[in-house]
């Protein structure tokens, strides 16, 4: 089978973001584990290879015309989430965005199959985009194999110095979008600081968006930090490359995923793979993937409770539970299940 994959995300600003990382890891996994097939690559500026049996678009944006309306080959589309359409009042599209969504929705309905990252996303795609569930395949993502516990103390000390990290910190990795609930995490952390025995903890927020002061969400976060006198205890390392991020996860006292809603929630599994105890909200896809993490509601008081409880558990025992859980999420499995989705088209 000849499979043509659109690699546009690898040649754009998305290369280092979620969709780019997914595209690269998928290609690597397919070539490594499913090498009985032939893979052809093209970008949105090129024609789909004429001899392809199937075409795969590994990304979808409701507000940009990323899919062709006319599909000359059987087509698979990966839709990571439709959060902006699930919560339109939080993600206003504008007139142009609304028109493009209608075009994208029509194009999506003409796909042969759709791949969703979770059952939660599958249900959203069916409900919001009007796609039949029968053509939607759930393929869970996986952390990069490079995520492993870092135990070498000199390496950990070097990473702490490089990113100005404290010895004890609560960690979040991600974006500033409303669904991430960073303000909820800040409320919880501000309350944590009221416990004298926990005053040594700082909050580390990893992600490039935290340094973009043109974003209203970043402005709100900075204003909260200023009003609650947290500037000296909240650390912004910016984007951290994978080779260092394993150490950042490994050094953290606890990782927190405070989201209201996620299409998947990959940092939860990355933290688990590095041996960091995880607190996660029990919403959307997180209910599916968080497993032995401390699962709480997105309310600040619940997040606070989760953090304080996780700080008292046996770290080694919690890490072992998480290691066992995260074993099931591999890129070999992603490759196999993606191929299975392709093959359903030809049945």
Residue 18: predicted pLDDT: 83
Strand, coil or helix: 239: coil
> Contact 193/224 with Cβ under 8 angstroms?
no
Residue 147: predicted pLDDT: 97
Q: pLDDT tens track of the chain, all 347 residues?
A: 999 999 999 987 767 678 899 999 999 999 999 999 999 999 987 889 999 999 999 999 999 999 999 999 999 999 999 999 999 999 999 999 999 999 999 999 999 999 999 999 999 999 999 999 999 999 999 999 999 999 999 999 999 999 999 999 999 999 999 999 999 999 999 999 999 999 999 999 999 999 999 999 999 999 999 999 999 999 999 999 999 999 999 999 999 999 999 999 999 999 999 999 999 999 999 999 999 999 999 999 999 999 999 999 999 999 999 999 999 999 999 999 999 999 999 87
How many CB atoms are located within 10 Å of the residue 290 CB?
24
- The overall longest dimension of the chain from CA atoms, in Å, is 67
Classify strands 136-138 and 234-238 as parallel, antiparallel or unpaired: unpaired
Strand, coil or helix: 295: strand
Residue 232: predicted pLDDT: 96
> Contact 272/326 with Cβ under 8 angstroms?
yes
Residue 55: predicted pLDDT: 97
Q: For the whole prediction, is pTM greater than 0.85?
A: yes
Strand, coil or helix: 309: helix
Domains within the chain, CATH numbers bracketed: 2-142+330-345 (3.40.50.2000), 153-326 (3.40.50.2000)
Residue 45: predicted pLDDT: 76
Radius of gyration of the chain (CA): 21
**CA separation (Å) from 168 to 96, 140, 174, 222, 251?**
46, 32, 20, 22, 8
Who's near 88: CB < 8 A, 6+ residues apart?
Answer: none
């Amino acid at each position: 089978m000849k499979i043509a994959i659109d690699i546009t995300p690898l040649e754009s600003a998305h290369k280092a973001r979620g969709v780019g990382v997914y595209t690269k890891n998928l290609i690597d996994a397919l070539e490594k584990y499913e090498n009985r097939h032939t893979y052809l690559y093209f970008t949105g500026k090129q024609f789909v290879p004429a001899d392809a049996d199937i075409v795969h678009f590994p990304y979808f944006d409701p507000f940009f015309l990323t899919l062709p309306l006319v599909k000359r080959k059987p087509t698979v589309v990966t839709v990571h989430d439709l959060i902006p359409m699930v919560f339109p009042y939080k993600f206003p599209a504008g007139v142009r965005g609304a028109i493009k969504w209608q075009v994208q929705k029509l194009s999506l309905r003409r796909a042969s199959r759709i791949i969703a990252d979770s059952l939660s996303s599958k249900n959203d795609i069916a409900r919001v985009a009007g796609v039949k569930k029968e053509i939607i395949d759930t393929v869970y993502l996986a952390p990069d194999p490079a995520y492993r516990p870092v135990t070498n103390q000199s390496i950990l000390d070097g990473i702490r110095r490089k990113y100005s990290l404290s010895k004890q910190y609560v960690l979040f990795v991600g974006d500033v979008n409303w669904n991430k609930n960073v303000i909820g995490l800040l409320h919880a952390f501000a309350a944590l600081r009221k416990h004298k025995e926990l005053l040594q903890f700082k909050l580390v927020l990893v992600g490039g968006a935290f340094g973009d002061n043109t974003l209203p969400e970043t402005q709100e976060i900075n204003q909260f930090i200023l009003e609650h006198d947290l500037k000296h205890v909240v650390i912004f390392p910016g984007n951290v490359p994978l080779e260092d991020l394993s150490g950042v996860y490994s050094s953290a006292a606890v990782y927190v995923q405070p989201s209201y809603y996620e299409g998947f929630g990959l940092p939860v599994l990355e933290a688990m793979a590095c041996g960091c105890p995880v607190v996660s909200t029990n919403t959307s896809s997180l209910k599916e993937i968080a497993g032995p993490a401390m699962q709480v509601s997105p309310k600040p008081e619940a997040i606070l409770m989760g953090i304080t409880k996780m700080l008292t558990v046996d770290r080694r025992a919690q890490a072992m539970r998480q290691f066992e859980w995260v074993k099931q999420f591999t890129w070999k499995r992603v490759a196999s299940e993606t191929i299975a989705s392709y093959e359903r088209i030809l049945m």
